[in-house]
């Protein structure tokens, strides 16, 4: 059973095709695809449901003129687990589930164990977070000597750093902070402030770019050509616009292709 497991590494995440799940569970791939289509919202609650559409070769068209392109889904660990819970169990299915769990675990261990420098990167990140926490601790020890106005500023910063939504409108102005200082302050955690107007401008910008490239652009190239830097927020805006403003396909080994 282990030789069946072949995970794809897409956009920094391990994924498995629905074809492989069907083979391992001993069912028809068409049934697995229909299951995902029928419960798409369930699967999307665990992340973007990636897929690719395979082209029909000339040889297959000669054999079957009615042949159509196939959609192949690529599921992450949670989505794959969900798919298997919706399917009937059997001895073959049970063995495959165990093998798939081992495959995902082996991929995680490989990344966290330092393959390709990941282990060192994770360690550096952990040390940086520790140093940041120590820095905030030192700042907290000096609060007794601060004025009431300074105390309010530290309170707002603390809420931003702890990912607590902040209603800062009006409070900053009362502290007498200049406009340039205000902009720096608000940008301490920009992911908490999703500006609808900025999002609309981003959408218009992306649509204009994609119209100039009918064959589409991969995510990194698309964002580099836009007026907005690549970030968790802009990548989320791209995902939210799928199906409404543009389309997206997964190209194994290359990433997400966006097109109109």
Predicted confidence (pLDDT) per residue in 187-215, tens digit: 444 444 467 888 888 999 999 999 999 88
Q: What is the pLDDT of residue 161?
A: 54
Per-position DSSP letters for the chain, written without gaps between them: -GGG---EEETTEEEEEHHHHHHHHTS-HHHHHHHHHHTHHHHHTTS--EEEEEPPPHHHHHH-TT---EEEEEE-HHHHHHHHHTS---HHHHHHHHHHHHHHHHHHHHHHTTGGGHHHHHHHHHHHHHHHHHHHHHHHHTGGGS-HHHHHHHHHHHHHHTT-----TTHHHHTT--HHHHHHHHTTSGGG---HHHHHHHHHHHHHHHHH-TT-EEHHHHHHHSSS---HHHHHHHHHTBTTTBEEEEETTTEEEEE-
* Highest mean pLDDT, choosing among 22-26, 125-129, 134-138: 22-26
Q: What is the pLDDT of residue 63?
A: 83
CATH number at residue 244: 1.10.10
pTM over 0.75: no
Q: What is the pLDDT of residue 123?
A: 55
72 with 98, same domain: the answer is yes
Neighbours of 166 (CB within 10 A): 19
pLDDT bracket for residue 169 (50, 70, 90): very low
How far is the C-alpha of 38 from the C-alpha of 183, rounded, in Å?
Answer: 46
pLDDT exceeds cutoff 90 at 61: no
List the domain range (segments joined by +) for residue 152. 144-192
108 with 83, same domain: the answer is yes
Q: What is the pLDDT of residue 129?
A: 56
Lowest mean pLDDT among 7-16, 77-86, 88-97: 7-16
Lowest mean pLDDT among 17-26, 183-192, 209-218: 183-192
139 domain-assigned = no
pLDDT exceeds cutoff 60 at 92: yes
Nearest Cα residue to 207 out of 241, 162, 165:
241
Q: What is the pLDDT of residue 159?
A: 58
127 domain-assigned = no
Q: What is the pLDDT of residue 132?
A: 57
From 192, 214, 229, give the residue that closes a domain.
Answer: 192
180 with 210, same domain: the answer is no
From 192, 207, 223, give the residue that closes a domain.
Answer: 192
Instruction: Please indicate whether residue 155 or residue 56 has the higher confidence score (pLDDT).
Output: 56
248 domain-assigned = yes
42 with 105, same domain: the answer is yes
């Amino acid at each position: 059973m282990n030789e069946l497991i072949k995970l794809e590494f897409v956009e920094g995440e391990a994924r498995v095709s629905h074809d492989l799940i069907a083979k391992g569970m001993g069912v028809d791939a068409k049934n697995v695809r229909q299951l995902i289509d029928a419960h798409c919202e369930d699967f999307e609650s665990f992340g973007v449901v990636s897929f690719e559409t395979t082209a029909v070769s000339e040889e297959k068209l000669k054999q079957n003129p009615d042949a159509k392109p196939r959609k192949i889904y690529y599921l992450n660990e949670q989505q794959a687990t969900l798919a298997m819970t919706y399917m009937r169990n059997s001895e073959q299915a049970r063995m495959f589930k165990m093998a798939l769990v081992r495959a995902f675990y082996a991929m995680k261990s490989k990344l966290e164990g330092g393959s390709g420098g990941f282990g060192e990167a994770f360690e550096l990140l952990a040390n940086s977070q520790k140093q940041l926490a120590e820095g905030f601790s030192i700042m907290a020890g000096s609060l007794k000597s601060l004025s009431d106005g300074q105390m309010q500023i530290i309170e707002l910063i603390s809420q931003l750093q702890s990912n607590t939504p902040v209603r800062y409108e009006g409070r900053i102005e009362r502290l007498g902070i200049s406009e340039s200082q205000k902009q720096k302050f608000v940008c301490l955690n920009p992911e908490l402030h999703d500006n609808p107007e900025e999002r609309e401008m981003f959408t218009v910008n992306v649509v204009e770019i994609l119209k100039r490239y009918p064959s589409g652009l991969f995510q990194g190239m698309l964002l580099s050509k836009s007026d907005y830097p690549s970030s968790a927020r802009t990548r989320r805006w791209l995902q939210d616009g799928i199906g409404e403003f543009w389309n997206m396909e997964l190209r194994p080994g290359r990433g997400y292709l966006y097109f109109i």
